[in-house]
Structure formats: C-alpha cells, structure tokens
Chain A
C-alpha cells in the first residue's frame, strides 16, 4: 500500500482548517453544437471575451465569439466526449498557466501541464496568458547585449536585452539552428530561456530537447510544445503561454529570452480557428485581426526599469531592470517576404536576421544575408569591443559584394581591387560557424581583429576555418589571461589591441594549422 504525500496528518489537519466551501453562483449554458474543436454554447449571457469556460469532465474552453444568443468557444484539448446539451459553466477567470523557476528544465504543453514524464510541477504562481504589455512609463531603452555566440549575428546584427529580432527565411535555412545556438550560449549568463514550438513535428521538438540536454542548456530553459497533432486552439495559445512564463522572469528583475518557433504556423492555427468560428476571411484568408495577434504578443517583450520591477515585486527587488528578449521565427515560402504574415511581423519587430537558401546551399552557414539583415536597436547594446572590431567586417563584406558582381565582367583587376576581393572572400569564409559551437566575446574579438589586421590575407580560403579554430585553441592554451581579461571588461583600448597583436604574431610564428 502506498501513502500519498498529501495524506500526512499535519497536511490533512491544515487542509481541514482551511476548507473553503462556498455556495456558488455561476452562469450556465448548454452546448448547441460541437465541431472541429469549436463549441457553440447557448446561454452564458454573462460570459466575457477570452473567459475560461468549464465543460463536463474538467475540459476547458475559451470564449472567443460573443454573439446575441450564443457564445462561440474553442475547446482546449480533446472534445470527443462533449455533446449537444452538455452544461457549460462560466469560471469568471481568464486562462492561466503556472509560472516560475520550477518550470525550468521542463517540457510543458500550452496549458503549462508537464508532458515530459518527470512528475508534477509544483509551481506556486500562475499568470493569465493574455496580459497588457508594459506601458511607456515602465520601459527602459535597450542597452545590454544578448550574446548569441554567433560571429555573424553578434558582429553584424547585434541583439539587445528586451529587443524583438525576427529570424526569417525559407524552410531548411537554419532558422531553428540560430535560435538554439542563442539558447545554448545563455548557459552561464543567467538569462532564462523559453522555447515555444508551434505546429512542429513532435520528433523535431524531441530533438531540440535532446540537443539542449546534450549541451547542458536545458536546466535554464522551459520548452512549451504545441505540436502538429495538438488542436489548433492549443497552437494558437502556445506563444501567449510561453510569453507569460517569460514575463515572470522579466517582472522579478531578471533577463529572459523567448523563441517563438514559428509564428507562421501560429497564424495558420489562428486562421483555422477564426474560419471555423465563421469570422470573415480577409487577405490570404487570415482574419482581420492577425496583425494584432502578433503585435500584442511581441509588444510584451520589453525591458522594464528599476521602478517597475520594484512595483511589480512589491519592493522586494530593488535596483534591477528586467527584460524579455524575443526571437520570433517566420518561415517564408520561396523567399516571399511580401506575403501577409512576414510583412506584418517584419514591421512589428526591431530588425530581422534574414536567412537565404542560396547561401545555405553555397555552404555559408549560418546563411545570413548581411545586406538585408538589420538590427534597429541592438547597436546601442553591442559590447564595445565587438562594436569597434565588427564595423570593419561589415564594411569589408559590403565592399566585397559590390566588387564581386563587378569583377565578373573585368578580366584584369588592379591590386587594390584584388586585395579587397581577397579580403571579402576571407571574411565571408570567417563568418561561417558550425552549429552548437558558440564563441565567447574574446574569441570572437580575436577573429574579427585578425580579419581587420589582415592576418588571414595569406591564408588559403579553404584553410580559413581550420586557421581560426587553431588560433582559438592556441589563444586558450597560451594566452588565457588575455581572453579572460577581454571577457571580463568587454572593453577595447590600445593595451588590448597590442596584446591581441602580439598573440596573433605569436600564433603566426609558432602555431600550427
């Protein structure tokens, strides 16, 4: 016979004392029809928009359409046991999910219920999934970086804490890879991560979980999964649930990073729900409020100031700012960024990382198009050293692109042009980076410095990556103090530049690649 942990006499005693039995008054209605996860309910005249409705057998739904004599609701979860004539009760509450540090390292569904077979989650706090974003007064401008550990991102499209940076590209261009690398790189930074998988294959989600576990990145990460087999309603609310979990960390003065992978599928799920609710279709059959669907979600990613954190924690946390950084993912069809949802999300976010399948196939991974990728606020948050050194790389790449097109016509090139072309090719090569191998700021700085100072110029193009790898290893074993110093101060001055120069000279003469 097993004893339930709740059967300890003290607990039972406490429970008896705090019995809170009320005679309840509630609003009731009856189910008129159920189809495709949508229930039409007659009655419940006092139902509120977005309110949780209780169906028989502890099934819950969300009221979405309030009409004259009926309420259209989506059923969250299985709906096969619900039939015409069933009683529906109003709960008077908006849908809530558990939040808090207890969820870290767990895989949950859109309602915050564990789906990883690791037992119940003893979260004490809950939070409504739909919340109003912080207002103007509570906000603070973005000035701290989120290091993704990817050279091409951190040098060219830097991301700040509280920023919304879109990752956009066709299928199979490495969108998820960029996001997962960013999560892995937050390992010892204190940034909590939330990965929201929407409409993906369950096997893909399992793979992401496994990879994060492998790189010891699961313990600071919450995975919210609404897979392709979950109902459209669950896929529709998953980003909001994930956002509520991220907001918890933002509001207690910590930093969090949330990845929505991907919002195209969420828009599809919302389109399905809307069409089934008989809302009129608009462009590409999306409902009229598909812009608001994403804008209200992404607006909740923000950096809030010390006063707001202090207010939200009732004065328990003082002098700390909180942030929620968002990396929404959008999948384009055949590179069409002018489709409805991509244009919407591009206009909402503070910049985009544009991934191209041509680059990917040419072996440039991450396949970031440096010309089209921008970060509108990240520059203010970039670390000093990367900002200083990354500028040269951007310029070299821009000049290279211009010359590369031009040089195809010219047979004879002057030395200066040739040199720029060579430099450009090497920088393009240098921007390549393997998956799951994020770099520290110091390593990145060393690579960028080497490129700027021409240390790569006499290296063969196909040797650039091995050269860089050997250089990092050399620096780690022989000049650890320099790397530690850069990682510590993140500053760039003559002293640092001289030390880097001597390190690189040392490597050139003594190193092997």
Chain B
C-alpha cells in the first residue's frame, strides 16, 4: 500500500500540473475517479491483463468510460500508464490528485469521531476553531463511534487529537496499574 503511493506519486503530480496548466482540474478529477473505479472491476482487470488484447484496444476501452473520450492528454496518460504497467495504481493516483487539489484550493480535510451526532452549531464552532489553527478552509467528515463514550477525537492527516472519555479512562487505568 505504501509502495503503491510511492509509485503513483509522480503520475498524480504530473497529472495535476497538466490539469492546472490547461485549467481543467475538475474534469481531470472526475476522469481519474471514474478510471479508479473502473480499474478495480474484476472483468476490466481481466481484459487489461489479457495478453491477447493489444494495448491500443485496452486504451480505447478505458477512454470510452470518460466523458470527453477524445481528449488527447487523457488518452496519452492512459497509454503511458499501460506502457509502464502502472494502470492498476489509478486509485492511488486519484487519491494523490485529490490531495493536491484540496491543497491547491486551501481546503483541509478533518475527520471527526464522536459518540453522538453533532449539532450544526457544534460543527460550526469546530470549523471556526480549525480554520484558525490550520489557516485554511475546513471540510469535516463525521463518523459515530460509541466506544468513545463522550468527547471527541479529531484526525487531520496523521495527527490525532484525542479528547475522548475513553482515552481518559485508559490513562487512569494505566496510572493505577503502575
């Protein structure tokens, strides 16, 4: 998984730069998402891996899923991936593209875990707080996890801020045992 990201990064970055130059970021974004979904399909995988089917046919097949199937850059991109045998890394490439897109738009994605559903005013306060902290637009993804008991757990990239009751109980448990 980690290796896949390393292999995919140059492709994702190149695609983003190209899209930025031509000012077609949204179009590339949706294309990559489609391709990422397509290439995980079992039958499509079988077709691409089949040695009897030529590369030209494969690229034609993949292009046919796109909205603008006659776009030269998209066509070349798919061919390049097929040449270098990196076509099954399209999911990671799409992920990297999306990361760069949100970076470019100055949007920070935050995953919030709580034991109960948050009210809209609570979400707004969180957004305000993190806007200050990260100095960017905030996009919140909420999940419910009843194991937390109460409080909140926030995850930004790899950084985790744990303000949950579960964490506090764990700390008490450790201190009492030692």
Binding site for B on A (CB under 8 A): 6, 15, 19-29, 32, 40-46, 67-70, 89
Contact = CB atoms under 8 A, between A and B. Distances in A.
Contacts of B172: 19, 21
A68 B1 CA distance: 12
Given A15-B175, A43-B158, A23 B2 contact: no
A467 to B, nearest CB: 61
B176 interface: yes
A51 B155 CA distance: 21
B155 A28 contact: yes
B176 A32 contact: no
A21 B171 contact: yes
B24 to A, nearest CB: 27
Contacts of B159: 25-28, 46
A89 B161 CA distance: 12
Nearest to B151: A23
Contact of B2 (A19, A22, A32): A32
A89 B176 CA distance: 22
A25 B6 contact: no
Interface string B166-177: 011001100110
Nearest to B163: A23
A40 B158 contact: no
B1 A45 contact: no
A25 B160 contact: yes
A175 B151 CA distance: 61
- Residue among A6, A23, A32, A70 having the largest count of chain B Cβ atoms under 10 Å: A23
Given A25-B161, A67-B2, A68-B9, 14 more contacts: A22-B171, A23-B167, A26-B159, A28-B155, A32-B2, A41-B2, A43-B158, A45-B157, A45-B158, A67-B6, A68-B6, A69-B2, A69-B5, A69-B6
10 contacts: A6-B176, A19-B175, A21-B172, A24-B167, A25-B159, A28-B160, A29-B158, A32-B2, A68-B6, A68-B9
B158 A44 contact: yes
B162 interface: yes
Nearest to A6: B176
Nearest to B4: A69
B62 to A, nearest CB: 26
A20 B2 contact: no
Contacts of A89: 160
A23 B3 contact: no
A6 B171 CA distance: 17
Interface string B1-32: 11101100100000000000000000000000
Contacts of A28: 155, 158-160
A42 B6 contact: no
Given A40-B2, A42-B2, A21 B168 contact: yes
B160 A27 contact: yes
Contact of A20 (B6, B161, B175): B175
B162 to A, nearest CB: 5
B160 A32 contact: no
A102 to B, nearest CB: 16
A98 B9 CA distance: 43
Contacts of B6: 67-70
A15 to B, nearest CB: 7
Nearest to A28: B160
Interface in B9-60: 9
A54 B155 CA distance: 18
B42 to A, nearest CB: 21
The 5 A-B pairs at the shortest CB distance, nearest first, are namely A70-B2, A42-B2, A69-B5, A69-B2, A23-B163
A60 B5 CA distance: 26
Contacts of A44: 158
Contact of B3 (A20, A27, A70): A70
